[in-house]
Amino acid sequence: MGHPGFSFHFSTFFSTSPKFLGMEREHGSTIPFFLGENFMNWTSEDLIPLEQLPDRLFRTRSGKMPHVLWGVPFSKKIFPGWKRQREPRSRETIETLFQMARGKVPKNQRWLRRAMLLQTLREGLSDETFPWGPFAALAIVRACPVLNEDLLSLIFETARGKVEESRRFSVVEEPWKALLWRGELALTLAYIFPQAEEGTLWKEQAKQIVHEILSTGLHEDGHLKTSILPISRILLASMLRMGWMFPEIFTPEAQKQRDAWIRNSLYLTRPDGSMVFTSPESACYNPELFVAALQCDASKEDKKLGVTILPNLKTTKKIPNIQLPPESIVSETSQRGILRQFWGGAGIFTRWDTLSTFMEFFLPQTPLLSGKWECSLYCKGVSLLPVGDWKMICWNTSPWAVYLELELPLMWGFKLQRQFCLTRREEIAFWADTVFQPKGKVQEGPLEYAMSIPLYPGLTWTDNADSLELKIAHPDGGKGTLLPLALPEWRTKLTPGEDFTVKDGKLQGRLRTSQPSLYFPIFLDFSQRRVHSSLTWRQLTVAEKLKKVDFSQASGFRIQIGEIQWLLYRSLAHPANRTILGHNLQSESMLGRFMSTGEVHPLVEILGYQEENR
C-alpha cells in the first residue's frame, strides 16, 4: 500500500472525456476466425462502466507516453530478434488507441481498421511481431470501452486465445512474455469484461505469475538478479498496471518484494533517469513509471530518494526530513557494487557475475566508461586463465571515499585483484588490476598485461603528442582526465609492449614487466574546474629497512594536478613497515592527499590481508 499523503507528478495536464465510438469500419473485409463453443456476443453493457474505469488505467498526467510502453527500451541489444518493419504499425496503433482513450479523435484512423486491429492481435505471438505483439495487444484490449461494439466479441475471443497459447512461456526462461501475456493480458480481460467466466481463473493465474516473477527476479537479499536487469523496468511497469486493476494480486509479502524492486530500480538509475549499462539507443526514462511506482511504494525513504535523484520529479506534499538510504551498497549475493560520491553525484557501477567484470563510471551529466572490463595476462607467453570465480575481498566506506576490491584465482597460483575507488570530495577516482603470487609460489616473469574498457558512445577523446594522459569529454557536458600511473608520463620512455590509448571505442592499456607481479592503476580526475590544469605523475621509490623495495613488492605514485597532489600506494607482497616520500605506512593500499604541511591525509587506507594470501 502506498502512503496516501504523497502525490508525485511531473506535469499538471490531465484530461477526461466521454466514450468515443466513431471508429471507421472497413466494409467488405473477410477475416478467417474461429469462434469457440463459449463464444459470447459482448455489448458495451457487459463491459465495466466507463465511469468506473480508473483514469490511470488509460491516461497519464502528461499525456506523453502510453502506459503499455513504460520502461520499454526498444533496441536490438534488448530484443535481438525484433523486426523493424513491424515497428511503425504497432507503435502507431498503440499511440492512436492511447489518444482515443484520452478523448481525442485520431487524425489518421487507418491504423484502427477492423482487419488491422484483429490481425495485430492474432499475430501477437509470432516471431514477426516480436517484441511489439504483447504491447499492442494490451493497448487494444484496454481500449475496448471506447471502441465500437461490433469489435468487442472478436477482440475478446482473439485475446482469450492468445492467453491460452501463451501457456508455453516459462516465468523463469521468458519472464516478460509470461507476465505480459499470461498475467497482464489475462487480468485486463478479466477487468474490462467482468462477466467473463474465466475471470476468477485469470485473476488467480495473474496473482501466481506476479508471485513467481518477484520470487525468481530477486535474490534473498532483495537485489535484482542480473538476468532480469535489462527488462526489469518492463516487468515493474506491468506489475504496477496490474495492481491498479486488482490490488489484491499483491499479498503482503509480494508488496514487500515489489517495494524492494522499486528501490533497486532507483539504485540502478543514472542521474539522467536512464538505467545503468544501457547504450544511448536503448536508454530511456519514463517519469510516469517512477511516479506510479513511488505512489504505491510504502517506503518514505524511497519517496524522498525518488524526488532527490530523478529528473523533473516533484511531490505535492513536503516529505519529512528523514534520512536517505545509503548511496553506496554492495551485494555479494547478486555480485554487484554501487559506489557513489553522494546521491546525484558521480558513481561507479560494477558487477562480477561472469569471468569478466562489467564497469560503468558516470558523471551527473553522462557516463564516461560503460561495458565489459576485459583483461588478458600472459606469463612466459602462456595465457593465465581463471581457475575459479570472482569474489569480493574488501568493501569500505568512509566520509572521504568508497572502496571495493575483488579477487580472481588464475593458473600457476597467480591471483588477480581488481580495485575500485571513488572519493567523495576530491573529484578523483581510480581503478586498478594487481597480479601477484601468494607467498611460497614464485613463478618468474615476464608478465604481459592488456586491458580494455569501452568508452560510452558519443564521447570524444584527445591525447597528448608528448605525454600519455587522455582527456575524454561528451558534447552534452562532462569531462575527465585519465592517467596510466604504471606507465611513464612521456611517450619517448615507453618500452615495447607498453601503451595507453583509445582504439575502436575502447580505452586500452598494455604493460610488460620482467617481474613476477604487476600493478596497473588508472587515475581519473573528473573535476570540471581542473580540466585544463597542468599535471604530472611519477612512480616513486618505496623503502623498507632503509633499502629500496623492488616494484614486484610494492608500488607508489605521486600525482599532481594544478596545485593539488595525491599519493597512491599498493603492496604487492605481504604488508610491511615501509616508507614512501617520508610517509610511513603498514597498509595494503592507500590513497591520500598531501596537505600544506607536507603530511599525507589518507582518503582510503586498507590494512593487510591474511598471511596465506601473501
Q: Give pLDDT tens digits for 217-262.
A: 999 889 999 889 989 999 999 999 999 889 999 999 999 999 999 9
Give residue 19's pLDDT: 39
Query: Residues 567, 583: contact at Cβ < 8 Å?
Result: yes
- What amino acid is encoded at 261 in this protein? W
R_g (Cα) of the chain, nearest Å:
29
Give residue 23's pLDDT: 38
- Pairing assessment for the beta strands 367-379 and 447-454 based on DSSP bridges: antiparallel
CB within 8 A of 252, min separation 6: which ones?
none
Cα–Cα distance, 13 to 244 (Å, whole number): 20
Give residue 553's pLDDT: 87
- For residue 7, what pLDDT band results from cuts at 50, 70 and 90? low
Q: Would you report the helix, strand and coil content of the chain in percent, each value rounded to 5?
A: 30, 30, 40
Query: Residues 186, 206: contact at Cβ < 8 Å?
Result: yes
Cα–Cα distance, 359 to 502 (Å, whole number): 17
Instruction: Tell me if residue 152 falls in helix, strand or coil.
Output: helix
Give residue 261's pLDDT: 96
What integer is the mean pLDDT of 62-72?
A: 76
CA-based torsion, 376, 380, 383, 387: positive or negative: negative
- For residue 52, what pLDDT band results from cuts at 50, 70 and 90? low
Mean pLDDT computed over every residue of the chain: 84
Task: Find the farthest-apart pair of alpha carbons in the chain and give their distance in angstroms, rounded.
Answer: 98
pLDDT > 90? residue 525: yes
Better pLDDT: 196 or 22:
196
Cα–Cα distance list, 358 to 13, 99, 218, 388, 470 (Å): 41, 41, 20, 17, 21
What integer is the mean pLDDT of 342-363?
A: 94
Tens of pLDDT along 286-326?
888 998 899 888 888 999 999 889 988 877 777 778 889 99
Give residue 6's pLDDT: 55
Tens of pLDDT along 452-511?
999 999 999 998 889 999 999 988 788 999 999 999 999 999 998 899 999 999 999 999
- For residue 54, what pLDDT band results from cuts at 50, 70 and 90? low
Residue whose entry in the numeric block shows the C-alpha cell 499492442: 136
- For residue 103, what pLDDT band results from cuts at 50, 70 and 90? low
What integer is the mean pLDDT of 173-184?
A: 94
Give which of 528, 511, 425, 422 is closest to 472, Cα–Cα.
Answer: 528
pLDDT > 70? residue 549: yes
Tally of CB atoms within 10 A around 452: 19
Cα–Cα distance, 231 to 225 (Å, whole number): 11
pLDDT > 60? residue 27: no
The helix (run of H) or strand (run of E) holding residue 517 is: none
The helix (run of H) or strand (run of E) holding residue 606 is: strand 600-606
pLDDT > 90? residue 337: yes
Tens of pLDDT along 417-444?
999 999 999 999 999 999 998 765 666 7
Give residue 476's pLDDT: 76
Give which of 211, 228, 225 is closest to 176, Cα–Cα.
Answer: 228
**What is the pTM for the complete model shown?**
0.87
- What amino acid is encoded at 314 in this protein? K
Give residue 441's pLDDT: 64
What integer is the mean pLDDT of 41-46?
A: 78
What integer is the mean pLDDT of 274-297?
A: 87
Residue 144, burial from CB neighbour count under 10 angstroms (0-12, 13-18, 19+): buried
Buried b or exposed e, range 410-429, using 16+ CB within 10 angstroms: beeebbbbbbbbbbbebbbb
Tens of pLDDT along 255-265?
999 999 999 99
Helices 252-267 and 300-309, axial angle in degrees (round to 10): 20
Cα–Cα distance list, 271 to 58, 274, 285, 314, 429 (Å): 29, 8, 11, 15, 18
Write out 67-128 in H/E/C secondary structure: HHHCCCCCCCCCCCCCCHHHHHHHHHHHHHHHHHHCCCCCCCHHHHCHHHHHHHHHCCCCHH
Cα–Cα distance, 295 to 6 (Å, whole number): 7
- Pairing assessment for the beta strands 336-340 and 347-351 based on DSSP bridges: antiparallel
Give residue 475's pLDDT: 82
Peptide bond into 446 cis (omega under 30): yes
CB within 8 A of 322, min separation 6: which ones?
300, 301, 304
The grid coordinates listed for 602 are 589518507
- For residue 109, what pLDDT band results from cuts at 50, 70 and 90? low
- What amino acid is encoded at 44 in this protein? S
- Pairing assessment for the beta strands 479-484 and 543-544 based on DSSP bridges: unpaired
CB within 8 A of 52, min separation 6: which ones?
none
